[in-house]
């Protein structure tokens, strides 16, 4: 079942074990952001937590910031179920996520997973602002669920992401 998390620490543990330090915010920062109006953390439970997803949600866009499946549950279709659930629950909005530019097997497999689940790789991207003080920035490209975007919509989405997710003004 896909629902708002019950235990913040369980969700963070899954994410911390799944992402390199450059792609996840420190525990204290996520805990602080968790109290913002636009941010939610969802978990997939069967019956224990098997995956977690950080979502930023405004009146037009849903941004999947981090998404991870517990190592013990990988290969069971949990990731696809989570993507399906969020896309079904938020189907009246444009759903986007960021991926690294394809440069190695991992980034290519990640993009293929999202494409298999209905996301389209756009031609638009940017350099992610620093989210972790000890790590450099990361070049990212947007993927959009079941939709192609043009340059104008990209700018709207980028503005939402920078203002809400990164707390930076463009």
State percent of the chain over pLDDT 90: 72
Distance in angstroms (rounded) separating the CA atoms of residues 23 and 135 = 9
| pLDDT, mean over the chain | 92
What pLDDT is attached to residue 129? Answer: 85
Closest C-alpha among 78, 58, 108 to residue 1: 78
Q: Is the model's pLDDT at 159 over the cut of 90?
A: yes
Six token digits for residue 153: 């919509």
Listed in sequence order, the residues at least 6 apart from 61 whose beta carbon sits closer than 8 Å to its beta carbon are 93, 94, 95, 96, 156, 157, 160
The answer to whether residues 101 and 139 touch, using CB atoms and an 8 Å cutoff, is yes
Residue 137 tokens, joined: 């920035």
Instruction: Write out pLDDT tens, residues 15-56.
Output: 999 987 777 888 988 888 887 778 999 999 999 999 999 999
Q: What is the pLDDT of residue 135?
A: 67
pLDDT at position 25 is: 87
Give the tens place of pLDDT for each residue, 109-125. Answer: 999 999 999 999 999 99
How do residues 122-138 score in pLDDT, each as one tens digit?
999 999 888 876 667 78
Kindly state the average pLDDT of the residues 84-99. 96
- The pLDDT tens digits of the residues spanning 72-91 come to 999 999 999 999 999 999 99
Q: What is the pTM of this model?
A: 0.91
What was the pLDDT predicted at 24? 84
pLDDT computed for residue 131 by the predictor? 80
Distances 82 to 13, 19, 47, 108 between C-alpha atoms, Å: 17, 17, 14, 20
Q: What's the pLDDT score for residue 61?
A: 97
Residue 134's pLDDT is what?
A: 64
Residue 52 near residue 11 (C-beta atoms within 8 A) = yes
Question: Mean of the pLDDT values across residues 91-107?
Answer: 94
Q: Structural domains in the chain?
A: 2-165 (3.40.630.30)
């Amino acid at each position: 079942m896909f629902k708002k998390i019950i235990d913040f620490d369980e969700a963070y543990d899954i994410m911390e074990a799944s992402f390199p330090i450059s792609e996840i915010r420190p525990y204290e920062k996520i805990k602080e952001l968790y109290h913002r109006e636009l941010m939610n953390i969802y978990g997939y439970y069967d019956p224990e937590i098997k995956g977690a997803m950080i979502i930023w949600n405004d009146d037009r866009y849903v941004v999947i910031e981090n998404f991870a499946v517990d190592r013990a549950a990988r290969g069971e279709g949990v990731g696809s179920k989570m993507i399906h659930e969020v896309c079904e629950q938020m189907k009246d909005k444009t759903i986007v996520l960021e991926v690294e530019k394809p440069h190695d097997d991992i980034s290519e497999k990640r993009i293929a997973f999202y494409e298999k689940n209905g996301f389209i790789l756009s031609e638009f991207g940017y350099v992610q602002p620093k989210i972790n003080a000890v790590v450099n920035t990361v070049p990212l490209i947007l993927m959009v669920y079941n939709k192609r975007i043009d340059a104008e919509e990209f700018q709207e989405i980028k503005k939402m992401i920078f203002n809400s997710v990164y707390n930076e003004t463009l």
